[in-house]
């Protein structure tokens, strides 16, 4: 039997009781897929995991984060982690898998691992810490911070792990510690908080106002809310609008930022918040 990941080495299969003949039979019958020499997977294993192994690497970067359940936004790349100076997907050594048709518009994102050890007992993917290090080194900062913050929220890394991570990165990343503590409820909140911190705008995270918990309160009266799902409708939509109406009656101004706005048009979100501050919406008299 394969581990829950659906990926195993030949040695792991032998330890689990399969014989060489049984492995060969499983491949020929379609119960197992041979990804590369001595590496196998079940047909239902996630596509990006199979690709990473078939290319001679491990699941790394954002793909590894996704495998742990970290928030990864709209990223669809297949992140592959290779050993420095290793052989990377030589045409004569890799299988004909994946095909261009299977890849569609997904791109292969290469990473070079710093540490040789994979996740304990899971040689197919990088550890949470290494996955975050690779993401900070190669991806946009908001995605990296939001992914790291979700790792803290999920308990995959500790505060000490984050401090070690930031120390291992270039000096420009050192001030990011306060933006990675696991307090935001979603990646969107983490992205908005990062911008507020970098912009030097005073705010409170998750304050309770008139019995309602809001995402952000800027000074006295400007509320910023993020819709943490791509689609926000039904009862949640009606409840949020009722809250906006109640707080608006008392003098609060609410800016709602959608999933797509934050991830695809952040410049517009910045302009909306800054325009509201310029109007004084953050310093209104509250009833």
Segments making up each domain of the chain, as ranges = 46-136, 188-283
Query: Residue 137 corresponds to which tokens in the numbers above?
Result: 């080194």
252 φψ region: left (φ > 0), alpha (ψ -120 to 50), beta (else)? beta
Taking residues 116-144, report their average pLDDT: 91
How is the chain split among helix, strand and coil, in percent rounded to 5?
45, 15, 40
Cα end-to-end span (Å), the chain: 65
Q: Mean pLDDT score of the chain, rounded to an integer?
A: 89
Model pLDDT for residues 152-161, shown as the tens digit of each residue: 999 999 999 9
For 275-287, how does the pLDDT look when each residue is reduced to its tens digit (9 = 90+)? Answer: 999 999 999 998 8
When pLDDT is cut at 50, 70 and 90, the band that residue 90 belongs to is: very low
What does the pLDDT average to over 126-145? 96
CATH of 188-283, one of 3.10.20.30, 3.30.365.10, 3.40.960.10, 3.90.870.10: 3.40.960.10
- Structure confidence by residue, pLDDT tens digits, 193-246: 999 999 999 999 999 999 999 999 999 999 999 986 544 556 667 777 778 888
């Amino acid at each position: 039997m394969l581990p829950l990941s659906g990926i195993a080495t030949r040695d792991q299969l032998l330890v689990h009781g399969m014989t060489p003949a049984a492995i060969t039979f499983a491949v020929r019958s379609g119960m197992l897929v041979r990804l590369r020499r001595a590496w196998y997977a079940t047909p239902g294993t996630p596509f990006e995991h199979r690709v990473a192994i078939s290319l001679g690497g491990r699941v790394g970067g954002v793909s590894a984060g996704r495998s742990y359940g970290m928030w990864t936004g709209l990223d669809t790349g297949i992140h592959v982690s290779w050993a420095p100076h290793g052989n990377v997907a030589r045409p004569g050594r890799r299988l004909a898998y994946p095909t261009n048709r299977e890849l569609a518009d997904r791109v292969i994102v290469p990473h070079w691992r710093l540490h040789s050890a994979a996740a304990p007992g899971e040689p197919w993917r990088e550890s949470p810490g290494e996955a975050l290090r690779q993401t900070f080194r190669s991806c946009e900062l908001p995605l990296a911070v939001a992914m790291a913050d979700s790792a803290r929220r999920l308990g995959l890394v500790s505060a000490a792990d984050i401090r070690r991570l930031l120390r291992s990165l270039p000096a420009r990343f050192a001030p990011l510690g306060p933006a990675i503590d696991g307090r935001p409820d979603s990646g969107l909140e983490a992205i908005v908080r990062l911008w507020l911190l970098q912009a030097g705008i005073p705010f409170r995270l998750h304050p309770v106002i008139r019995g309602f918990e809001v995402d952000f309160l800027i000074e006295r009266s400007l509320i910023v809310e993020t819709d943490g799902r791509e689609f926000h409708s039904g009862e949640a939509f009606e409840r949020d609008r009722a809250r906006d109406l109640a707080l608006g009656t008392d003098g609060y101004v609410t800016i709602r930022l959608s999933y797509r706005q934050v991830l695809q048009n952040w410049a517009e979100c910045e302009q909306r918040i800054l325009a509201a501050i310029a109007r004084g919406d953050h310093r209104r008299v509250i009833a």
